[in-house]
Amino acid sequence: MNKYISLITALAIGMLVVSTSWSTSKPEATEKAEPAKTEPAKTEEKQKPENKSTADHSKFKELKTNFQNGPQVTKACISCHTEAAKQVHATKHWTWEFLNPDTKQKLGKKHVINNFCTSVKTNQSFCSACHVGYGWKDDSFDFKKETNVDCLVCHDTTGTYKKLPGLAGHPNYQRMEWPPHSGKYREAVDLKKVAQNVGKTSRDTCGGCHFYGGGGNGVKHGDLDSTLAEPERYLDVHMDKDGLNFTCGKCHQSDAHEVAGSRYAPTAADDKGVLIKGSKSDRNPNTCQACHGNTPHDGVEPKLNDHTNRIACQTCHIPAFARAFATKMSWDWSTAGRLSEKGERLQIKGSDGRVIYDSKKGDFTYEKYVIPKYKWFNGSVKYTLFGDKVDGTEKVKISEFMGSADDPGSRIWPVKVFTGKQPFDAGNQTLAVFHTAGEDDAAFWGNYNWEKALQVGMAATGTPFSGKYGFVETESVWPITHMVAPKEDALTCAQCHTKNGRLEEVGGIYMPGRDSNAVLDFLGFSAALLTLIGVLIHGGIRIIMSKKGY
Amino acid sequence: MERIYIFKRFERFWHWTQALLIILMMITGFEIHGAYNFIGFHSAVTVHTTAAWALITLWVFAIFWHFTTGEWKQYIPTAEKVQAMMLYYVTGIFTHAPHPFRQTTLSKHNPLQRLAYLFVKLMINPLIWVTGLLYLFYNSWSEWGLDWLSLGWVATFHVIGAFMMLIFFIAHIYLATAGHTPTSHIKAMITGWEELD
């Protein structure tokens, strides 16, 4: 009997220990991931990546030449790297084209119309400052010519190679005023030096274009800006310059110049676990799961693993975007063209110093520390392309994320929703292509005349301008996937598991803390309250009766 | 005054541990349900889940105890004196009329208690346990071939069970004062000894 009692006592103690051993929780309402503490400013020089190459390009006689232009450098490059240009020719960086295998939509910068600068057509000599080629100024560009490939824009390590808008993908070979009419001058590029110092791609070379998408730092994506060249830990736990110090290519692995990771057909859900190095697989190596697997919270907070079949990693781990630079959230082209009393271009700056009105472009809004919107996403993006019917009566979904709660391949993703107002051809009932930049009479950025800009732009599409135009409201959706915050800044449970929380608008699922049956709650609490009142009355009568001497 | 020993040591331990765990689970459960903010959703889930496992463990021992000791027979329902008990609660209790039921070691619950506890054991508890475990193992549903279930419905039935438990809890606490003296049941639950008239 005594043994039996001690067994039970041991069990009791055991259970008390278990029932009191829950961990203390984090504060629930941290909305912004900000640096936890300000570190003292670091004065040390930015460290050059250690050169482990087996080839010192400065010793190659092919590169001991005073190159006159980019294509001459490329010619030297491909005299050894014989297949490089052909490989580049097959990539989106070169073709600016992408055929979505699911929707059959023809995408890529060459074809889509976005709600930033809208379209590349008739503006190639400007846009091609971010093309990996030389000379793309109009439709006559030779996409087959190997020396048209620009090797240096990605492989420069000197930081001195810069392609300028308006030069059709070339850097300036002569000293020139830049920005135009600024009174400042940019020295001619030293092609020999750049060529002799080529190396691997870097955060600086990728960022040269990708940090500045949409026409400025952090403008387009909100999760990519120049701070990623040397980020602190709070901003990007992987690229942290004093920590893991990842390059872009660490995740965006490339094979034969084809870089993994595509915004046109992203991998929204990856449930196959860790992608082991060397394993035969055609999976996208550029997902969180490819390294972390689908149960990355083992031993820390296993319940979180139960979320990975519904929620993209990014949803919790990127609590806000535009955490370093403000990102553009809207662009209204309809107000463009307003000039000063003297007939000069206006540029009005907001309180943070960024331009919020420009005669060339219209009105903008910028936001910092933006809380994303959340959407079901299965990786398929549907675009409204040139020729798709737009009659101006309803908001045009420039890009729309497909997916739903019923689709096992969908996850809840954080997104940036960018709204705009831009020209459409009211006669042809389509989004309009217009001529933006150039030295000619029709470019909107010189003459502020919509009719002329539309005439030239539409003519280039093969569908002549109808003569009638208007401005239509548009919306585009951008996945938030960069600038992963350290784990201590990840969302806490209650930021979603509450009424009016982050995922308030996400439908199709039952979420504890957010959802409940109002009728059941009313009936349940009423019944409990009536029971309480009943026993209080019963007890009251007992007390009164007992005082009366019963 | 006569005293009889009706609640053995394990039974008392079981009762009070279960009481503590159920109170914790009601507080945290309704917080998880979104009824209020108290200790925060994250802590509420941790406490609720930990308490659930502790209670399951306790239950395994309690069921074992009930069957090995034959104490399960205490819950066999009887129609005898049910009416008399109900009448007592609406009249006699106010005038200190003699209690219609006399406890013995072999029959320690009055007929209404038997019915109430049987309802808890066969209805409320299984509802809470089944829906609760399904809730907890939501991610294994497809492995178990339970894809046809909806979390919304499982949660709804779990909440129905919780409301029933809450109502039982209120009534139970009050009726603990309805013994031969207002404190005699409570004392018995602590010491094991019930005082009789």
* Beta bridge partners of residue A420, listed in sequence order: A331, A474
Is A391 in the B-facing interface, judged by CB distances under 8 Å?
Answer: no
Candidates B41, B94, B166; nearest CB to A28? B41
Question: Which one-letter DSSP state was computed for residue A537?
Answer: H
- For the entire predicted model, the pTM comes to 0.88
Rounded to whole angstroms, how far apart are CA atoms A244 and A239? 6
Rounded to whole angstroms, how far apart are CA atoms B100 and B81? 7
**On the CB side of A134, how many CA atoms lie within 13 Å of its CA?**
22
Instruction: Please report, for the domain that includes residue B127, its CATH number.
Output: 1.20.950.20
Chain B residue closest to A29 (CA)? B40
Rounded to whole angstroms, how far apart are CA atoms A247 and A261? 14
B60 Cβ contact partners less than 8 Å away, ≥ 6 residues apart: none
Chain B residue closest to A14 (CA)? B54
Rounded to whole angstroms, how far apart are CA atoms B62 and B184? 24
SS3 content of chain B, % helix, strand, coil (to 5): 70, 5, 25
Is A512 in the B-facing interface, judged by CB distances under 8 Å?
Answer: yes
Q: Which amino acid is at A92?
A: K
Average confidence (pLDDT) over B154-170: 97
Rounded to whole angstroms, how far apart are CA atoms A288 and A360? 40
Candidates A5, A15, A23; nearest CB to B17? A15
Rounded to the nearest 10 degrees, what angle do helices B41-69 and A2-19 cross at?
160
Beta carbons of B167 and A528 less than 8 angstroms apart: yes
What stretches of A103-189 show up as alpha helix (H) in DSSP? 124-127, 152-155
Domain ranges of chain A: 216-275+284-495, 518-550
Closest CA to A458 of A426, A427, A432, A440: A432
pLDDT of residue A168: 96
Q: Which residues of B touch A508 (CB under 8 A)?
A: none
Residue with tokens 């060397």: A278
Rounded to whole angstroms, how far apart are CA atoms A125 and A121? 10
Q: Which residues of B touch A514 (CB under 8 A)?
A: 34
Q: Of B90 and A163, which is predicted with more confidence? A: A163
A346 Cβ contact partners less than 8 Å away, ≥ 6 residues apart: A338, A339, A340, A357, A358, A359
User: For residue A102, what are its two tokens?
Assistant: 């699911």
pLDDT of residue A1: 45
> How many angstroms separate the CA of residue A531 from the nearest CA in chain B?
7
Rounded to whole angstroms, how far apart are CA atoms A70 and A148? 8
Mean pLDDT for all residues in chain B: 92
> How many angstroms separate the CA of residue B195 from the nearest CA in chain A?
20
Rounded to whole angstroms, how far apart are CA atoms B40 and B17? 24
**Domain encompassing residue B42:** 2-196
Long-range contacts of B43-50 (CB under 8 A, 24+ apart): B43/A22, B43/A24, B43/A25, B45/A303, B45/A493, B46/A22, B46/A23, B46/A25, B47/A22, B48/B24, B49/A303, B49/B136, B50/A18, B50/A19, B50/A21, B50/A22
Residue with tokens 């150039």: A438
Is A13 in the B-facing interface, judged by CB distances under 8 Å?
Answer: no
> Rounded to the nearest 10 degrees, how much is the dihedral formed by the CA atoms of A29, A33, A34, A39?
120
> How many angstroms separate the CA of residue A517 from the nearest CA in chain B?
7
Rounded to whole angstroms, how far apart are CA atoms B115 and B112? 5
**On the CB side of A5, how many CA atoms lie within 13 Å of its CA?**
5
Q: Which residues of B touch A521 (CB under 8 A)?
A: 33, 35, 159
Is A526 in the B-facing interface, judged by CB distances under 8 Å?
Answer: no
Strands annotated E in chain B: 2-5, 193-196
Contact assignment for B13 to A494 by CB distance below 8 Å: no
> How many angstroms separate the CA of residue B188 from the nearest CA in chain A?
19
Rounded to the nearest 10 degrees, what angle do helices B111-119 and B151-175 cross at?
160
Backbone Cα Rg of chain B: 19
H helix count then E strand count, chain A: 14, 17
Contact assignment for A525 to B54 by CB distance below 8 Å: no
Rounded to whole angstroms, how far apart are CA atoms A114 and A37? 39
Task: Give whole-number Cα distances, A181 to A176, A185, A354, in Å.
Answer: 10, 10, 20
- pLDDT 10s per residue in chain A (550 long)? 455 555 555 555 544 444 444 433 344 444 444 554 444 444 444 445 566 789 999 999 999 999 999 999 999 999 999 999 999 999 999 999 999 998 999 999 999 999 999 999 999 999 999 999 999 999 999 999 999 999 999 999 999 999 999 999 999 999 999 988 899 999 999 999 999 999 999 999 999 999 999 999 999 999 999 999 999 999 999 999 999 999 999 999 999 999 999 888 899 999 988 999 888 888 899 999 999 999 999 888 889 999 999 999 999 999 999 999 999 999 999 999 999 999 999 999 998 889 999 999 999 999 999 999 999 999 999 999 999 999 999 999 999 999 999 999 999 999 999 999 999 999 999 999 999 998 899 999 999 999 999 999 999 999 999 999 999 999 999 999 999 999 999 999 999 999 999 999 999 999 999 999 999 999 999 999 999 999 999 999 999 998 888 7
pLDDT of residue B195: 81
Average confidence (pLDDT) over B132-139: 94
Q: How far apart are the first and last CA of chain A?
A: 45
pLDDT of residue A6: 55
| DSSP calls for A420-439 | EEEEEETTTTEEPP---SSS
Q: Of A524 and B91, which is predicted with more confidence? A: A524
Chain A, residues 174-233, CB within 8 A of chain B, namely none
Rounded to whole angstroms, how far apart are CA atoms A266 and A344? 44
φ, ψ of residue A460 to 5 degrees: the values are -70, -20
Domain count, chain B: 1
Beta carbons of A520 and B160 less than 8 angstroms apart: yes
Strands annotated E in A81-228: 98-99, 106-107, 176-177, 185-186
Chain A, residues 58-77, CB within 8 A of chain B, namely none
